[in-house]
Amino acid sequence: MATTTDIKNGLCIEFNHDIYTIVEFLHVKPGKGAAFVRTKMRSVKTGRILENTFPSGAKIDVVRVERRPYTYLYKEGDLHMFMHTETYEQIGVEEAIINAPQYLRPDQYVEITVQADTETPLICELPPFIETVVTYTEPGFKGNTATNAMKDATVEPGVQIRVPLFIETGERIKVDTRTNEYAERIK
pTM of the model: 0.74
Q: Spell out the SS3 assignment of the chain.
A: CEEHHHCCCCCEEEECCEEEEEEEEEEECCCCCCCEEEEEEEECCCCCEEEEEEECCCEEEECCEEEEEEEEEEEECCEEEEEECCCCCEEEEEHHHECCHHHCCCCCEEEEEEECCCCEEEEEECCCEEEEEEEEECCCCCCCCCCCCEEEEEECCCEEEEEECCCCCCCEEEEECCCCEEEEECC
Q: What is the pLDDT of residue 42?
A: 87
Mean pLDDT of 142-169: 81
Question: Has residue 142 got a pLDDT over 80?
Answer: no
Mean pLDDT of all residues belonging to the chain:
87
Computed from CA positions of residues 115, 10, 43, 110, in that sequence, does the dihedral angle turn out positive or negative? Answer: negative
Residue 56 binned pLDDT confidence (cut-offs 50, 70, 90): confident
Cα 82 to Cα 69: distance, rounded to the nearest angstrom: 10
Give the range among 10-24, 45-59, 121-135, 145-159 with minimum mean pLDDT. 145-159
Give me the amino acid identity at 15: F
Percentage of the chain exceeding pLDDT 90: 31
